[in-house]
Chain A
């Protein structure tokens, strides 16, 4: 039972939910990071006040957290802006930070763990140095990771602020250099739009913003917040799609920057799952890079599961396999096999071995190793 999708598609439907269904909806929404988003949807639809007290409290509580995070992020964005001002290239915000600063429909109630920015590759070293001076330091201290990021990835290793622990992902492209698709970041930077009256803050133009979001979800394999990311796409498509000429622009742009396949998936699954109103002409456009039918059939089975809430109530026997397949696919799309296999081998065997050698004797018996456990100690505040 996928109550969170039902609530997203038809917010009015929650008026008839039983207590037990509300219980499940809140849990599914929490595991999808969509509680605060739903708060804003219910508010906009004028139905928040008719929701029973208990679920209402959870929506409210999450909204308080989202608002706090947005306030903090707004401030961090200006800090980053100040740090990079002297480089003289425009600062481009991506994803969550961009939606927030440009006040776009996905923003209300959306959580984001780090601030993503895009800068031309030519100034990436300067940018890193400036950010370093302002207190953002690299997070991956392993030589292999540093080399891996800098040689093959579309971003440098994430930077974290020493005092406030805010994280920035500094990108120079939207896909790894080794990926199957080759969008040209130069073109995207050139088409970017200013989103602040007083500061030189930019973001991708509407079509590129949608293509980036689609690429991130359907090509780069970060399905951890799959449904939330699909909701972003739904909100953006509804917003920009109001202008009837937008669809043609979008499809042409996708072909121009080699992102037609991810756009196809975005249009297919937002309309299938979230009822996003996409004109049939766009959905059936010959310009879209559709996969062959058997592939499409198979991908439907994978994505329709992987994009459900990450909650045990939405899982069936195939969900785990579907997520695993998509994980493998994302790696395959990221890198050619002759690079991927050594990389996975390093991550799976060599690094644990190195860590084991380094830790040997240091704190013997403290770590159970390999097994993934929560890292935080329980908070006992009495």
Chain B
């Protein structure tokens, strides 16, 4: 897969999506996507323009189709459906959320069908060969911090899922557009003039969401794995002073387990993997309200590391 979407005329790109589908490579996963929905096609053309793609047949990890259900609902309160190789795992969503169902659906595929990795609900970024893992419950400000770092010279691994290879303990990179919600969208728009956003989708169960296009370097270097060095549990609190508090390894261990999608499925191997992750990392609780200060904190922390 050497072509990128930007090298393909839009008409061809759109034609393939509407027909046999396009295969898009996001790190270790290849997704074959078919869709006839123009908003999805346009948003993909913008957000995925730097990703390797192929219009040829070959191995794909996930075969996805985003389409309108074949029912009367096509006309009254239109909806959108997500199918995974012919299976429809969820109830349809309102039609305007078509692009979101693609991103959510792909996350669902990874968390359900990629148990070769231990998967933790977490943002992951790398600088100077060392990675930080930012696990977080929804609303903790994980994605905002992740977007800020990604726009400040950090290499994005993922804004949602830390993929850890149990055999090596290394983090695998699968950079995708960063999903931002509500106020975070404007915070990041104001933070960097170079931030490129896809369409804003309103009225989802999470409010308004928009996706930030990842920096090209993250995509080009996505085959480079890295060693985790810092685990920080971020927490955004209005007016809070920036504070990085060391966290005991035992506490960090338990919280990571709670934030893992497949820790319990992995059994003993899951335990060993988290154990080795914890022992190779410094663990912190991180509270912030200023994004600039937060980025400075992590820049300093990573520079001090050997």
A and B pair up: yes
**Interface 1/0 per residue, B54-76 and A, CB below 8 Å:** 00011111010000000101000
Q: Which of B59, B71, B91, B266 contacts A377 (CB 8 A)?
A: B91
Min Cβ gap A255→B in Å is: 42
Whether, in the assembled complex, A142 has its beta carbon less than 8 Å from a beta carbon of chain B, the answer is no
A61 and B113 within 8 A (CB): yes
B114 and A61 within 8 A (CB): yes
Query: For residues 188 through 224 of chain A, which have their beta carbon under 8 Å from a beta carbon of chain B?
Result: none
Closest B residue, CB atoms, query A374: B88
Cβ–Cβ < 8 Å partners of B86 in chain A: 31, 311-312
Query: For residues 336 through 382 of chain A, which have their beta carbon under 8 Å from a beta carbon of chain B?
Result: 368, 371, 373-382
Q: Which of A61, A376, A379 contacts B116 (CB 8 A)?
A: A61
Cβ–Cβ < 8 Å partners of B148 in chain A: none
Whether, in the assembled complex, B215 has its beta carbon less than 8 Å from a beta carbon of chain A, the answer is no
A381 and B59 within 8 A (CB): no
Cβ–Cβ < 8 Å partners of A381 in chain B: 107, 111, 121, 138, 160, 261
A376 and B89 within 8 A (CB): yes
Cβ–Cβ < 8 Å partners of A382 in chain B: 107, 138, 143, 159-160, 179, 181, 206
Closest A residue, CB atoms, query B32: A23
Whether, in the assembled complex, A54 has its beta carbon less than 8 Å from a beta carbon of chain B, the answer is yes
Min Cβ gap B92→A in Å is: 7
A23 and B90 within 8 A (CB): no
A30 and B206 within 8 A (CB): no
Whether, in the assembled complex, B104 has its beta carbon less than 8 Å from a beta carbon of chain A, the answer is yes
A57 and B114 within 8 A (CB): yes
B59 and A19 within 8 A (CB): yes
A23 and B108 within 8 A (CB): no
A58 and B61 within 8 A (CB): yes
Query: For residues 254 through 282 of chain B, which have their beta carbon under 8 Å from a beta carbon of chain A?
Result: 261-262, 264-267
- Given A54-B59, A374-B89, the answer on whether A65 and B30 have CB atoms closer than 8 Å is no
Whether, in the assembled complex, B93 has its beta carbon less than 8 Å from a beta carbon of chain A, the answer is yes
Whether, in the assembled complex, A52 has its beta carbon less than 8 Å from a beta carbon of chain B, the answer is yes
A378 and B93 within 8 A (CB): yes
Cβ–Cβ < 8 Å partners of A311 in chain B: 85-86
Query: For residues 156 through 196 of chain B, which have their beta carbon under 8 Å from a beta carbon of chain A?
Result: 159-160, 179, 181
Whether, in the assembled complex, B82 has its beta carbon less than 8 Å from a beta carbon of chain A, the answer is yes
Whether, in the assembled complex, A71 has its beta carbon less than 8 Å from a beta carbon of chain B, the answer is yes
Give A380 to B86 CA distance when docked, in angstroms. 21
B105 and A378 within 8 A (CB): yes
Cβ–Cβ < 8 Å partners of A57 in chain B: 28, 61, 114, 116
Give A120 to B288 CA distance when docked, in angstroms. 65
Cβ–Cβ < 8 Å partners of A62 in chain B: 115
A375 and B91 within 8 A (CB): yes
Main secondary structure of the interface of A (DSSP, over half): helix
Cβ–Cβ < 8 Å partners of B2 in chain A: none
Give A67 to B264 CA distance when docked, in angstroms. 11
Cβ–Cβ < 8 Å partners of B93 in chain A: 378
B85 and A30 within 8 A (CB): yes
By the criterion of a CB under 8 Å from any partner CB, how many residues of chain A are at the interface? 35
Min Cβ gap B99→A in Å is: 13
Give A133 to B104 CA distance when docked, in angstroms. 41
Whether, in the assembled complex, B205 has its beta carbon less than 8 Å from a beta carbon of chain A, the answer is yes
Give A8 to B30 CA distance when docked, in angstroms. 26
Whether, in the assembled complex, A60 has its beta carbon less than 8 Å from a beta carbon of chain B, the answer is yes
Give A377 to B101 CA distance when docked, in angstroms. 11
Min Cβ gap A35→B in Å is: 10
Q: Which of B116, B159, B261 is the most central at the interface, judged by chain A CB atoms within 10 Å of its CB?
A: B116
- Given A30-B85, A68-B267, A311-B86, the answer on whether A378 and B108 have CB atoms closer than 8 Å is yes
Cβ–Cβ < 8 Å partners of A19 in chain B: 58-59
Closest B residue, CB atoms, query A378: B90
Query: For residues 95 through 110 of chain B, which have their beta carbon under 8 Å from a beta carbon of chain A?
Result: 101, 104-105, 107-108
Cβ–Cβ < 8 Å partners of A22 in chain B: 59
Cβ–Cβ < 8 Å partners of A60 in chain B: 115-116
- Given A373-B91, A380-B206, the answer on whether A64 and B266 have CB atoms closer than 8 Å is yes
A27 and B85 within 8 A (CB): yes
**8 tightest Cβ-Cβ pairs between the two chains A and B:** A64-B115, A378-B90, A61-B115, A19-B59, A23-B59, A19-B58, A57-B116, A68-B265
Question: A residues within 8 Å of B by Cβ?
Answer: 19-20, 22-23, 26-27, 30-31, 52, 54-55, 57-58, 60-62, 64-65, 67-68, 71, 311-312, 368, 371, 373-382
User: What 12 additional pairs, Cβ within 8 angstroms, besides A54-B61, A65-B265, A378-B93?
Assistant: A19-B59, A23-B58, A27-B85, A30-B85, A57-B28, A64-B116, A67-B267, A373-B92, A378-B82, A378-B108, A380-B206, A382-B107
Q: What are 29 sample pairs from A and B whose C-beta atoms fall under 8 A apart?
A: A19-B58, A19-B59, A20-B58, A23-B57, A31-B85, A52-B59, A54-B30, A54-B59, A55-B59, A57-B61, A60-B115, A61-B113, A61-B116, A62-B115, A64-B116, A64-B262, A64-B266, A67-B267, A68-B264, A374-B88, A376-B90, A378-B91, A378-B93, A378-B101, A378-B105, A379-B107, A380-B104, A381-B121, A382-B107
